[in-house]
Amino acid sequence: MRPERGPRPEPQDRVPDAAVRSELENVLASELFVRSERLSALLRFVVEETLDGRGETLKEAVLAHQLHGKNADFDGASNPIVRVEARRLRDKLREYYADATADPVVISLPKGSYVPAFAAPDVQSPAANHPSDFGATKGPPAVSAPVLARPSLAAWHGAVLILGMAALAAGGYAALSLRPIASPPRIMLAVLPSQNLTGDPEQEYLSDGLTEELIASLGGIKSSRLGIIGRTSAMHYKNTAKRSDEIGRELGVGYLVVTSLRRIGDRALVTAQLIDAETQAQVWVNRYERDAREVVVLQREVAASVARQTLESLGVSLQNLQFATDRHPENSQAYEEYLRGRYHWAKDTTEGLHKAHDHFQKAIELDPTYARAYSGLADTYALLGSYDIMPIGESHPLGRAAALKALELDESLGEAHRSLAAIIADHYWEWGEVERHYRQAIALDANDVTTLRFYSFYLAYTGRAIEAVPLAEEASRLDPVSPSARMNLGVVLDMAGQVDAAVRQFEETLDLDSNFGMAHAMLGLTYLRQGMPERAVSEALKARALSGARPDVIALHGYTLARAGRRREALATLDDLRRLASPRSPSPFLVALVYVGLEDTDRAFEWLEKALEARSWELPVLKGNPIFNALRADSRFPPLLARLGLPH
Question: Tens of pLDDT along 110-129?
Answer: 887 899 999 887 533 333 33
pLDDT band at 234, cuts 50/70/90? Answer: confident
> Is it the case that residue 135 has pLDDT exceeding 90?
no
> Is it the case that residue 136 has pLDDT exceeding 70?
no
**What average pLDDT does range 337-365 have in this prediction?**
90
> Is it the case that residue 279 has pLDDT exceeding 90?
no
CATH of 186-318, one of 3.40.50.10170, 3.40.50.300, 3.40.50.10070, 3.30.470.10: 3.40.50.10070
> Is it the case that residue 206 has pLDDT exceeding 90?
no
Considering 34-38, 320-324, 389-393, 473-477, the range whose residues carry the highest mean pLDDT is 473-477
CA distances from 34 to 40, 104, 178 (A): 7, 20, 26
**What average pLDDT does range 246-264 have in this prediction?**
89
What values do phi and psi take at 501, rounded to 5? -65, -35
- By CB neighbour count within 10 A (0-12 exposed, 13-18 middle, 19+ buried), where does 414 fall? buried
Q: What is the pLDDT of residue 163?
A: 25
What integer best gives the mean pLDDT of the chain? 81
> Is it the case that residue 321 has pLDDT exceeding 60?
no
Topology agreement, domain 186-318 and domain 328-445:
no
For 211-225, 266-280, 373-387, 628-642, which range has the lowest pLDDT when averaged over its residues? 211-225
pLDDT (tens digit per residue) in 406-443:
999 999 999 999 999 999 999 999 999 999 999 999 98
Q: What is the pLDDT of residue 339?
A: 83
pLDDT (tens digit per residue) in 608-624:
999 999 899 899 999 99
Q: CA-to-CA distance for 336 and 27, rounded, in angstroms?
A: 52
> Is it the case that residue 237 has pLDDT exceeding 70?
yes
**What average pLDDT does range 584-606 have in this prediction?**
95
Q: What is the pLDDT of residue 137?
A: 33
CATH of 328-445, one of 1.25.40.10, 3.20.20.370, 1.10.1370.40, 3.40.50.720: 1.25.40.10
**What average pLDDT does range 480-500 have in this prediction?**
93
Read off the amino acid at residue 451.
Answer: T
For 162-176, 389-403, 568-582, which range has the lowest pLDDT when averaged over its residues? 162-176
**Cβ proximity of 648 and 637 under 8 Å:** yes
**What average pLDDT does range 197-213 have in this prediction?**
82
* Strand-strand pairing, 106-108 and 255-264: unpaired
> Is it the case that residue 185 has pLDDT exceeding 70?
no
Looking at per-residue pLDDT, the higher value among 162 and 539 belongs to 539
Q: CA-to-CA distance for 578 and 587, rounded, in angstroms?
A: 9
Domain ranges in the chain are: 17-170, 186-318, 328-445, 534-648
> Is it the case that residue 130 has pLDDT exceeding 60?
no
Angle at 352 between CA 348 and CA 355, to 5 degrees: 145
For 14-28, 209-223, 399-413, 435-449, which range has the lowest pLDDT when averaged over its residues? 209-223
Point out which residues pair with 275 in neighbouring strands.
Answer: 256, 282
Residues 571-594: b if buried by 16+ CB within 10 A, e if exposed: bebbebbeeeeeeeebbbbbbbbb
**Cβ proximity of 514 and 488 under 8 Å:** no
Q: CA-to-CA distance for 280 and 368, rounded, in angstroms?
A: 45
Considering 157-171, 239-253, 280-294, 360-374, the range whose residues carry the highest mean pLDDT is 360-374
Looking at per-residue pLDDT, the higher value among 605 and 144 belongs to 605
pLDDT band at 315, cuts 50/70/90? Answer: confident
Q: What is the pLDDT of residue 13?
A: 55
Q: What is the pLDDT of residue 329?
A: 66
> Is it the case that residue 239 has pLDDT exceeding 70?
yes
DSSP SS3 for 428? helix
User: What torsion, rounded to 10 degrees, do the Cα atoms 636, 638, 641, 642 define?
Assistant: -110
Q: What is the pLDDT of residue 349?
A: 84
